[in-house]
Amino acid sequence: MVEFPACSGRPVGRRGLCTGWLFDLVIPGLVFPEKAESSSSLPLPKIHVSLRPNCSFRPPSDPSVPFIMIGPGTGVAPFIGFLQQREEERKENPEAEFGETWLFFGCRYRDRDYLFR
């Protein structure tokens, strides 16, 4: 479970939204070693997931085209994947022309942004 401790920019700690929700769903069925008697035979809940393909969310096919990515608070994982893909393409084809690649993400304030600190 992701937990964000209290700090100067956040006076009260909090849990991650999704991981906190998932933890609350499965906690009744978890067995903790120090409390073996807390073992329960409750079935773990089923979680419905809807996967939707998106054919337009991808880096440009022409590597010479400048590529600007903006992570608007929804996570940067796909963009990290795009950066890793671009890095591999550069290794495989070092003589190719690559446009500038930019990734903007995070909070407005440097002291409150913990990603890649």
Express each pLDDT in 72-98 by its tens digit.
666 788 888 999 999 999 999 999 999
pLDDT-derived band at 113 (thresholds 50, 70, 90) equals: low
Structurally, the chain folds into a number of domains equal to: 2
Furthest C-alpha separation in the chain: 64
75 with 35, same domain: the answer is: no
Domain encompassing residue 2: 1-51
Nearest in space to 27 (alpha carbons), one of 47, 51, 45: 45
Q: Please state whether the predicted TM-score (pTM) of the whole model is above 0.85.
A: no
Answer yes or no: do 71 and 117 share one domain.
Answer: yes
Element holding 81 (H helix, E strand):
helix 77-92
Residue type, 58: R
Q: The CATH number of the domain where 114 resides is what?
A: 3.40.50.80
For residues 89 and 94, what is the distance between their CA atoms, to the nearest angstrom? 8
Q: Does residue 103 share a domain with residue 92?
A: yes
Give the per-residue pLDDT at 93. 94
